[in-house]
């Protein structure tokens, strides 16, 4: 006889979950990302025009990531998994704070800052345990290395995989995303109608799409509270 699988929680996270770890969100009001216009640092056009500036920008983001620490929200999600719940994280973040907190099933929709990638073959990736990427650093096929991040205007290679996860969720938790960027914003539409869905974000009431329960709190408070409730209840149902 096959053992019954525990219910599956799919967590969709954005920049807001890492904000309290000191990593800035993107849409903070001034339209700039760490004092840069998005189109100067996070587009294929910027890379073609001025790769040195793009590399420097991501080297800085990488250093920030290395010195950041997971916060109570990342840790609570990892603890839920340790407690025997089935948890998949689909993150728009390029940092590794979910993994460092202990989450084992993390899908990075927009890539990973701690990896370099060939600019001619998307499957050629290299870990960057120290340092950054310099002009002249080449992949095994002889082309310049670039950050393994998905830029504006590029396709999102793992989107179909993320849709499949959301489609088989028993419950959904959305944390710290403005749901402004396509195609990630469409992911929730893949969720089964009967799956309950919560959104933890200080702006939850303004953002919340129909059928989603808003929790207008910072991630480090809202996520551990929900996780504690689920653990006490032994599941996600009310
Ligand atoms: N806890 C939870 N949410 C927070 C917190 C916090 N402490 N602080 C801010 N937020 C929320 C904001 O209210 C906002 O809704 O985090 C959200 C951040 O939104 P964005 O900056 O738009 O980030 P995100 O949705 O992850 O952006 C998506 O856009 O720039 C691209 O590729 C980049 O992955 C990124 C994508």
pLDDT at 34: 73
List alpha helices for 68-114, DSSP H. 72-82, 97-101
The model's pLDDT over 196-205, given as tens digits with 9 standing for 90+, comes to: 999 999 999 8
List alpha helices for 84-196, DSSP H. 97-101, 159-167
Domains of the chain: 1-23+71-110+155-233 (3.40.50.1220), 26-67+118-149 (3.30.1600.10)
110 is catalytic: yes
CA distances to 26, 38, 47, 120, 186 from 41, rounded to whole Å, are: 13, 6, 7, 19, 25
Our mutation pick for probing the ligand 1 site, out of 13, 23, 26, counting the most ligand atoms within 8 A of Cβ, is: 26
pLDDT above 60 (res 8)? yes
Q: How far apart are the first and last CA of the chain?
A: 29
Q: Which two tokens stand for residue 10?
A: 């799919």
Q: Average the pLDDT over each of 33-42, 150-159, 166-175 and give the range with the smallest value.
A: 33-42
CB of 231 within 6 A of ligand 1: the answer is no
pLDDT above 60 (res 2)? no
CB of 95 within 6 A of ligand 1: the answer is no
pLDDT at 176: 95
Mean pLDDT of 49-78: 97
Cα–Cα distance for residue pair 193/174, rounded to 1 Å = 16
């Amino acid at each position: 006889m096959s053992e019954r699988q525990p219910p599956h929680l799919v967590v969709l996270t954005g920049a807001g979950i890492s904000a309290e770890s000191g990593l800035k969100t993107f849409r903070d009001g001034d339209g700039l990302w760490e004092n840069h216009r998005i189109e100067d640092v996070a587009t294929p056009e910027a890379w073609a025009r001025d790769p040195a500036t793009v590399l420097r920008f991501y080297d800085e983001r990488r250093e920030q990531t290395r010195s950041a620490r997971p916060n109570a929200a990342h840790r609570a999600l990892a603890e839920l998994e340790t407690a025997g719940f089935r948890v998949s994280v689909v993150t728009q973040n390029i940092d590794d704070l979910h993994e460092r907190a202990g989450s084992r099933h993390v899908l990075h929709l927009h890539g990973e800052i701690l990896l370099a990638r060939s600019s001619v073959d998307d499957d050629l990736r290299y870990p960057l345990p120290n340092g950054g990427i310099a002009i002249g650093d080449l992949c095994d096929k002889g082309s310049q290395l670039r950050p393994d991040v998905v830029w504006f205007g590029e396709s999102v290679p793992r989107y179909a995989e993320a849709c499949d996860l959301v489609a088989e969720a028993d419950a959904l938790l959305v944390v710290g995303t403005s749901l402004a960027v396509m195609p990630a914003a469409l992911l929730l539409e893949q969720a089964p109608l009967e799956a309950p869905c919560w959104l933890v974000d200080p702006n939850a009431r303004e953002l919340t799409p129909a059928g989603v329960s808003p929790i207008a709190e910072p991630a480090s408070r809202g996520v551990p509270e929900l996780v504690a409730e689920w653990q006490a209840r032994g599941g996600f149902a009310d």
